[in-house]
Structure 1
Amino acid sequence: MERTAVNPWDWSIKLGYNQAEVIEGAARQVICAGQTAVDGEGNPQHAGDMRGQIGLAFDNLEAVLKGAGMDLSNVIRLGVYATDVDEALKNFDLMGMRFGPHQVAPPMTLLGVTRLAIPGLLFEIEATAAG
């Protein structure tokens, strides 16, 4: 098995993790770290705005997938974490807007959490992709 790091930005390397890893062997998979509403320097964006944070988290997920030569059509599993599940669910139309054009509906888990790693973040999404 061969592992190749995918890091569109270098801020996470300083924290000890890759944004994703390409795993090659019998099958090709990408395991993405949780993506949140941060800019290219790792600074939180859209304070207090769940919809804005979901949108940017998806933008960041798509950037990581693109760095691995994939897109949302390759996502086979999602883990979603929200500090306010009800507010996140009100904005889940964004999920359909992102995945609908790819005609995929990956399995997912949504968990309510008291907080995320960086204070002020409301939403985090992690994905496993295969191709």
Structure 2
Amino acid sequence: MSKAIINPETLFDPEPFGFSHVVSAPSGRLVYIAGQGGENRNGVLASGFEAQVGQAFSNLATAMSAAGVDPSHVVKISTFIVDHDETKLGLLTDAVRDLFGPSLPAQTLVPVTRLALDGMLFEVEAIAVVG
């Protein structure tokens, strides 16, 4: 599958923040991956924001693999952070770079006051195109 990453020169450079402004993909099978949080297979949340981000991206990789998708197929992620601040942005950026490398998907970060479970601090969902 080929996809085009587009970062117009008239917009700020998003690469240092771990995302692309636009990702265009040809027609193909769309894969929607539900929000993955920082819980293990037993539903136990990791302790703290950084640990939950790591577990959530590990869960995302597992879900992608189960669907026959790898990080190069992902065109868009949405991330949800409880009580977002700039310190959390750096941890998120590192996690995105670790999983996606140079093929950064489009990304929307949504600060929220709460997620589905008590103590849940982070969630990530993805859209992929396999063609």
Structure 1 CA distance, aligned partners of 2:128 and 2:42?
24
> Take 1:80 and 1:88, find their aligned partners in 2: how far apart are those partners?
12
Q: Deviations over 1:22-76 (max 9, x none)?
A: xxxx621110100001111222222xx2111111000000000000111111111
Give the AA of the match of 1:72: P
Name the residue aligned to 1:118. Answer: 117
Distance apart, 1:93 and its partner CA? 1.5
Per the alignment, residue 88 of structure 2 pairs with 88
The CA RMSD over aligned residues, in Å, is: 1.3
Counterpart Cα distance in 2 of 1:95 and 1:69: 19
Task: Indicate the SS of the match to 1:43.
Answer: coil
SS of 1:108's partner is strand
Which residue is 1:35 aligned to?
36
SS of the aligned residue for 1:39 comes to coil
Report the secondary structure of 1:35's partner residue. Answer: strand
Structure-2 change in CA distance of 1:61 and 1:75 (3 Å):
same
For residues 90 and 81 of structure 1, what CA distance do their matches in structure 2 show? 14
The higher relative CO (CA closer than 8 Å, separation ≥ 6) is in 2
4+ residue segments displaced more than 3 Å: none
Q: Which whole-Å CA distance do the structure 1 matches of 2:109 and 2:56 have between them?
A: 15
1:75 counterpart residue number: 74
- The 1-side partners of 2:94 and 2:83 are apart by 16
May I ask how many residue pairs the two structures share in their alignment? 102
Structure 2 unaligned residues grouped into runs of 5+:
1-26
Aligned-residue sequence identity (percent) comes to 37
TM-score, normalising length from structure 2? 0.73
TM-score by length of structure 1 reads 0.73
Aligned to 1:97: 98
Quote the residue 1:14 is aligned against.
none
* Alignment gaps of 5+ in structure 1: 1-25
